[in-house]
Amino acid sequence: MDKSEFRKWSHRASDWSADYQDGIDKRPVRPRLQPGAIGRMIDAGPPEEAHAMEDIFADFERIIPDGMTHWQHPRFFAYFQSNAAPAAIIAEQLAGAMAAQCMLWQTSPAATELEIAMIDWLRQAIGLPEGFQGTFQDTASTATLCAILTMRERALGWSGNQTGLFERERLRVYASEGTHTSVDKAMWVSGMGQDNLVHIPLRDDLSMDVAGLERAIAEDRAAGYIPAGLVVCVGGTSIGAIDDVGALCAIAERENLYTHVDAAWAGSAMICPEFRHFWAGVEAADSIVFNPHKWLGASMECSAHFVRDPEMLVKTLAIHPEFLKTYGKDGFVNFSEWSVPLGRRFRALKVWFLLRAYGLEGLRRRIRDHVRWSEWLAGRLAAEPDFEIVTKPMLSLFSFRYAPPDYEGDLNTLNRQLVEAINDDGRIYLTQTMFDEKLAIRFVAGQFEMEEQDIDIALKTICEVARSLTG
């Protein structure tokens, strides 16, 4: 492809993207496909000779869009949203054109220095005090892994990377039962092992049992284990569980534990001062993560990882072969030393575009609308005689289930059928969870371009499809 062809097809791709955004609400949110349907449309092997871009683009239009789940659909109410605000998409196009490898300051000075600035803009936006620094990881799972590795190294006197974990002290990490399974996986990858992640039960308010944590730490010390760290949950994926951040950070400080706060979803809401009580005391944490790519609008991947003491993160993760050293310069940061991968994308550019294009007030307005609309829907479903609210709204997330008064079958089975029927219908997309042995259907508002009419469509769809199953 020569430069003139590149220009032509770049324009074509841009036009297609704009058309896609304009018509996305007319598509079913989740495709009506069986596994393997798309694979059968793809050639069995790679071509020996080049194909014309006309043919390649035509095949893209014929095969791919109808096989996608449309995460930017205004009625995507499943999982947590992975938003891509239009301004962030433009920034991604520009970053892709430059195709920089931003592993070191010298490999892209602007990328590194913009990252420093954007992390600080976000720090100010969510109300963290001065002194917190950070970096953009790909996802919260990676940030949590970095925190778990730091817990391990700190507890072992920074010797684990060198000597390994064989015949070493047994380390323990604590998290609530509402914490994301990325913590479990981080324990696997860190070498500390699943059995050394101690899940503390939840209280009635769905937060970690603080007294239970203190007992677990005392029992582990008595057994000869070394408590290394604590993961605090703010807005858990299943039902939005929130721990008492201040109380847990105080225990961690007293017990000499490294504290990581996982606010991957809910952290974006902290740009609204009225929601910051949900993580009161967070300034005492050692490490905090939230994902601007979830609720704020910075397209995947973009996870903001804040630390009080960057030196601990760097001591855990930095490695300095000769070919990565920079000579003749002072006062720079190499963010590859703050994360597991060496290679890094230019993530800060989309945050810069996003925050300038919408402003904090524009982003706050969206989040406040999502919370208000979700609370409205929960209230409407609660007023229906054949629905019940399983977990009340936490920000814009709640769960419910269909429970007709005269239904004699298994309600878990009925609601599993309901969530599949809703998704096959195509107007909205929901997912399920388990709470207190009840299969519940999660609803979370948060898509960047969602409007109030979309919540009306959600109510209508849920009620119509549910009653068609029993009616």
Residue-wise DSSP of 4-21: HHHHHHHHHHHHHHHHHH
pLDDT of residue 325: 65
> pTM value?
0.93
Q: Which of 197-206, 246-255, 411-420 has the lowest mean pLDDT?
A: 197-206
Residue 375: its H or E element? helix 348-383
pLDDT band at 328, cuts 50/70/90?
low
Average pLDDT over residues 4-22: 93
Asked if the model's pLDDT at residue 19 lies above 90, the reply is yes
Give the dihedral sign, CA 243/245/251/256: positive
Average pLDDT over residues 173-188: 90
Given the structure tokens 């010797």, which residue do they identify?
Answer: 159
Asked if the model's pLDDT at residue 331 lies above 80, the reply is no
pLDDT of residue 83: 93
In the chain, what's the furthest Cα-to-Cα distance? Answer: 78
Average pLDDT over residues 60-70: 95
Q: What percentage of the chain exceeds 90 in pLDDT?
A: 81
The residues facing 439 across adjacent strands are 434
Average pLDDT over residues 450-471: 95
Instruction: Residue 179: name the closest of 270, 245, 240, 267 by CA.
Output: 240
pLDDT of residue 436: 87
- Residue pLDDT, tens place only, 335-389: 888 899 888 888 999 999 999 999 999 999 999 999 999 999 999 999 999 999 9
All structural domains of the chain: 101-345 (3.40.640.10)
Query: Distance (Å, rounded) from C-alpha 307 to C-alpha 365?
Result: 28
pLDDT of residue 464: 96
Asked if the model's pLDDT at residue 294 lies above 80, the reply is yes
Cα dihedral value 321, 327, 329, 333, nearest 10: -10
- Residue pLDDT, tens place only, 245-288: 999 999 999 999 999 999 999 999 999 999 999 999 999 999 99
Mean pLDDT score across all residues of the chain = 93
Instruction: Residue 88: name the closest of 383, 376, 348, 447 by CA.
Output: 348
